């Protein structure tokens, strides 16, 4: 029998080999790995569907639908509840590759150094102040995209705060966040991490959804009115090629108006 530490090592190695084989053999296959409840609990209406190969990475308080070719998540999903962000856990700032991805599937810290882009969280660290595990997992590079530094610390941070305020008002919301790739292809680092042209955030309450789409550049500040960037879910689906709610039940065509105090009126 292998010692416990070696057994864990070999189980992880075997899992990664099996994952690699699936991705090579099935170009549009979605595979799941990680330690979430059942890898669906953070989605509003089923796992978002993509036409490209993805890996679904289950975490304590978010799920990443990850593209190992672009080296970024396509969708990061949360069921955001106040008890998750009302804790006292400090920000970790421990960025690291995702341990459930093979080296050739992941970005590296060096890809971002000197790139001119921030390591932009899709599920923000500020959502996870009640759990050391969730805070640490938020710094996995499978939750990160290259983001304009001014946008990251400015209007995007304000949108994240507004979303927490909305979750507090309503009790909980589902949140989907990710990149859009339009126009000329741009990459950073030796691993050719794809740079988004824009970034979206979709907030779902019941059957209603508010969607925001912002170009990936420094933008004028907005504290409580993000309506200039508000779009429909269908517009984000067309821009990304994703289907966000395959089980239906969420209105993807209308502009919702919940949490107008946080987001402004559309």
What ranges do the domains of the chain cover? 29-263
> Token pair of 118, please?
């921030």
- Flag the least confident range among 28-42, 166-180, 245-259: 28-42
Q: Of the residues 59, 70, 119, 121, which is catalytic?
A: 121
User: What are the pLDDT digits (tens) for 50-67?
Assistant: 989 999 999 999 999 999
Q: Is the pTM here over 0.75, yes or no?
A: yes
User: What are the pLDDT digits (tens) for 89-99?
Assistant: 888 889 999 99
The predicted structure's pLDDT at residue 24 = 35
User: What are the pLDDT digits (tens) for 170-188?
Assistant: 999 999 999 999 999 999 9
CA–CA gap between residue 142 and residue 99 (Å, rounded): 10
- For residue 196, the 8-state DSSP code is P
Q: Is residue 152 a known part of a binding site? A: yes
Of all residues in the chain, what percent carry a pLDDT higher than 70?
A: 85
Would residue 255 show up in a list of annotated catalytic residues for this protein?
no
Query: Please, what is the average pLDDT of the chain?
Result: 86
Location of structure tokens 């950073």 = 188
3-state SS, residue 58: strand
Q: DSSP characters for 90-130?
A: PP----B--TTS-GGGS--HHHHTTSSEEEEESS-GGG-TT
CATH of domain 29-263: 3.40.570.10
């Amino acid at each position: 029998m292998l010692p416990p530490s070696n057994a864990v090592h070999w189980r992880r190695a075997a899992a990664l080999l099996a994952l690699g084989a699936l991705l090579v053999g099935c170009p549009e296959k979605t595979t799941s790995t990680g330690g979430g409840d059942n890898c669906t609990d953070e989605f509003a209406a089923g796992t978002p569907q993509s036409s490209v190969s993805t890996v679904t990475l289950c975490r304590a308080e978010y799920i990443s639908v990850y593209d190992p070719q672009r080296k970024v998540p396509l969708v990061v999903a949360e069921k955001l509840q106040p008890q998750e962000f009302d804790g006292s856990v400090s920000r970790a700032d421990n960025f690291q590759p995702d341990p459930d991805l093979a080296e050739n599937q992941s970005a590296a810290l060096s890809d971002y150094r000197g790139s001119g882009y921030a390591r932009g969280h899709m599920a923000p660290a500020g959502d996870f102040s009640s759990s050391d595990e969730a805070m640490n997992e938020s710094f996995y590079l499978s939750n990160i995209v290259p983001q304009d530094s001014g946008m990251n610390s400015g209007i995007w941070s304000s949108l994240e705060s507004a979303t927490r305020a909305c979750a507090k008002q309503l009790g909980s919301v589902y949140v989907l966040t990710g990149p859009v790739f339009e126009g000329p292809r741009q990459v950073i680092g030796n691993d050719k991490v794809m740079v988004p042209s824009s970034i979206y955030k979709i907030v779902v309450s019941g059957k209603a959804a508010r969607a925001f789409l912002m170009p990936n550049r420094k933008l004028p500040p907005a504290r409580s009115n993000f309506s200039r960037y508000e779009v429909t879910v269908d517009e984000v689906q067309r821009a990304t090629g994703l289907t966000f709610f395959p089980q239906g039940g969420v209105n993807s065509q209308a502009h919702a108006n919940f949490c107008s105090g946080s987001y402004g009126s559309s």
